[in-house]
Structure 1
Amino acid sequence: MSRINQSSVSEFILLGLSWQPQQEQLLFGLFLSMYLVTVLGNLLIILAISTDSRLHTPMYFFLSNLSFVDVCFSSTAVPKMLANHILGSQTISFSGCFTQLYFLIVFAYMDNFLLSVMAYDRFVAVCHPLHYTTKMTPQLCVLLIFWSWVTANLNALLHTLLMARLSFCADNTIPHFFCDVVPLRKLSCSDTYLNDMMILFVAGLLMIAPFICILVSYILIACTVLRIPSTKGKWKAFSTCGSHLAVVSLFYGTIIAVYFNPSSSHSAETDTPATILYTVVTPMLNPFIYSLRNKDLKRALKKVIGRKMFSTQ
């Protein structure tokens, strides 16, 4: 961290999403609405799970953690963009940029780890239903969440420190609405070989390993489901995994599009829409995806919303 002071750049300029005033107003309203829906939807999920004793199971424990991470994930990037628009400023301090980068990495990897843990939970529920309660113990669930947080924070610390050792000499304009690894690396006037290697091996490993775990879990789930004789039984088993599969597809599709392409193929025009999907759209959609086809969760949400409406009258 001592090399931070060697940089001649004291702040960065976030260009945001559009340079045209008409579009800026429209995008501000759109992103504000999406952010409020994200926060409200995910907090309702957490409240419904915490207040309904029937939802105190491993699956909903992991879902409540995912909702918490999604709120934090969106809150790391979107409020700063909205505040810059209101204040008429596009700047972010050097330390603020790297703080934002750190927490974005933490919450992105927590999403990644939680989706993997939830896939394992569904694997045990479908493939070993009689042993579910003995395998998915509260101690194991807490341990999985604990090590996910530890690993995500250590990974974020590594990449933030590696980025902080770089020199930023002249250009401080980030063609993005938040501080991300790819645009920051492009602005550096020093050698980024070590950063590239760490992204390729460490970050790649921590992203690919959970993804492989998800693939293996669902291959085993599919094999088990296909052995069920009745069509109704197959559909019931698959329906417990449908929501999770939808979130996994959206999350990993955008992550791969942004971070696992050659550096030469990166551009603001292609990267920005993909990052909007996984930082804003996915956290907003998760509560809807998980609740629309889940009768238990819908019942708990109705109780919470009904209770709140009654208490305000």
Structure 2
Amino acid sequence: MHVKILGSAAGGGFPQWNCGCANCSSLRAGKFHGKARTQTQVAVSDDSGSWFLLGASPDLCTQIEATPELHPHDGVRQSPIAGVVLASADLDHLLGLLLLRELQPLRIYAAASILRILREENSMFRMLNRASNQAVWSEIRPRQEFPLLSAEGIDSGLRCEPLILGSRYPAYVAQEHAATLSPSEALLGLILESESGGRLAFMPAVPRLDDALLEHLESTDVLLFDGTFWSDDELIRVRGGGQTAREMGHVPVSSQYGSLNSLAALRRPRKIFLHVNNTNPILNETGPEFRAVREAGWEVAEDGWQFEL
């Protein structure tokens, strides 16, 4: 399996357009010991010919242009992007779909509740169905593995298993509408497997950890995991108020019950934090938080990383 990390930051990217925190200000001034990042986006392929996007970030056009493997190769409009797998209805996970509206055949995988949000409640996404063969919407079910197929039904050789991670829908989904949706489909983690047996876990938003999830993660070769916040009160410290990391649906990296400690027993996978918020001190490559992550055997994803498994 070929894996490309096109973007590695949380919603808003790094620096974030309206943020003057220490990280963003220092980066803009050219004094920050770390790298700018676009919003989280991953692409996978089993043959380097057809690619599937895990989510569709608002930065998708820029990310595609920065990745030659995703450029059109044959014909005027022949993108190697065959499809998209959606794990949630979060805006920074699906707004990029609207950037894929230029009549390219795509298969879009999502749980039934997410499909309802997109196709019944948001008329903008009708732009993806202006032609009969433009978008093939395919329903997925939690805990049921499925093959990744192109819009034409060509098997990519990759399979995906969605895992239930959370039950809360984004704030833009009206409360009365959310009450009619399945809680088990609100937030999924994705485990992808290639024909050769390589396994990738994609989990940029994890509200809680339990033994069942840890067992799944131990079966993978590479883990792309929620690195949104270093501490539970990170945004409160920066803003002087607001929600904690856990209230926003993210296990923090640090603390006794944070991911760094809770996932310390994982032995098999290469462990990589992504979806890193602009306020997170692990972005500073000379800081103690970054060193703590590296000493614990973790990496902090950067835009442009690629690997095979």
TM over 0.5: no
Q: Normalised by the size of structure 1, how large is the TM-score? A: 0.27
The structure with more strand, counted as a fraction of residues:
2
Higher relative contact order (CA 8 A, sep 6+): 1
Q: Which has the larger radius of gyration?
A: 1
Q: Normalised by the size of structure 2, how large is the TM-score? A: 0.27
The structure with more helix, counted as a fraction of residues:
1
